[in-house]
Copies of this chain bind each other. A is one copy, B any other.
Amino acid sequence: MTPKKTENALIELIERTFGAVRSKALVLAVGDDAALWSPGPGYEMLLTCDWFLEGSHFLREKHPPDAVGWKSLARAVSDVAAMGGKPCCFLLSLALPASLTGTWLSTFLRGVRRASNELGCELAGGDITQQDKILISITVVGEVRRQNAILRSGARPGDLIFVSGTLGEADLGLRELQRKPGMARASDSALRKHLYPQPRLELGRWLAGKHLATSMMDISDGLSTDLRRLCTASKVGALVDASSLPGVPSAKAADARELALHGGDDYELLFTVSARNAARLPSRFRGLRLTHIGEMIPKRKIVLKAAQGKYEPLRPGGWDPFRKQSPQN
């Protein structure tokens, strides 16, 4: 039986874990009613929040607490990458059973701290309470130079569609995790991508700084679901060439295609570039593959060019919490 701690004692543990504030912009962090933040001149602020819930997004008995910590912050930071911004600070709302306020909590906090250090995003505050399930909600504040943010709404017909990295790898990792007994380990690249995803911050900022992308978002719910959102926001349609998808090489061909189209949790960037500018895009950006997978079309449909040149509608088959069962069911 873990001894019960008070809310104040838990707040002190969090303060100790994260240490003193380093950013000059963050003049006051944890320990008051609100944090104080001053963005630099010429910058706009980015605000985004993300749920990370036991049973829906992770399983207590399968996901190591430090991976829960890393991923809860990394996936929220990915939304800042998707706007071409730089993360600055975050608020951590945490609810958990009193029995987890010992080792589980301190290991979780170490995972959050590692993400905080590596992604350059400082803890600014939060709220902690007790619940029977582990609930995490993270708000990230970022900044982007005025006029540089890349929105979902800027794609035009004729723009080429690109994705970074490999699609479907995190979902393959989730399948491995579900198949193997016990607590998961990052024993291969698929499991590593599922447990410790890397938001594409450098690529997002480079695309924003060069004004290369006409629209952008991150792929969190799967290409088929997220591309539809990009098209809706931009009021265009899309044609995707199935043969061009950067799927997982180790999976069987049919599997790799399904994973690449519908697999969630990759946190790769999906972006469009005008045909005129496409030649300025390298095939790799600091080692990360950039793949041309199709183009935007005026007709508001999403079409997949499949094998033997057959065209078929691409239906949203990615993650939708209101349609799918949670991974534990």
Q: A residues near B, CB below 8 A?
A: 4-8, 10, 27-28, 31-39, 44-51, 53, 55-56, 79-80, 82-83, 85, 89, 91, 93, 95, 98, 101, 124-131, 135, 137, 139-142, 144, 146, 149, 151-153, 217-218, 229, 232-233, 320-323, 326
Contact = CB atoms under 8 A, between A and B. Distances in A.
Copies in the complex: 2
Contacts of A37: 44-47
A130 B321 contact: yes
Nearest to A129: B321
Contacts of A153: 32
A188 B33 CA distance: 29
Given A4-B323, A7-B321, A36 B32 contact: no
Contacts of A80: 33-34
B49 A129 contact: no
Contacts of A135: 53, 135
A129 to B, nearest CB: 4
B229 A8 contact: yes
A269 to B, nearest CB: 10
Nearest to A229: B8
B35 A48 contact: yes
Given A82-B33, A142-B34, A152-B31, A91 B129 contact: no
Contact of A32 (B7, B27, B152): B152
B46 A36 contact: yes
Given A10-B322, A152-B33, A320-B7, A45 B56 contact: no
Given A33-B79, A129-B321, A322-B5, A45 B38 contact: yes
A137 B34 contact: no
Contacts of A51: 93, 95, 127, 129, 137
A33 B48 contact: yes
Contacts of A137: 49, 51, 93, 127, 137
A39 B37 CA distance: 10
Contact of A89 (B5, B47, B91, B323): B47
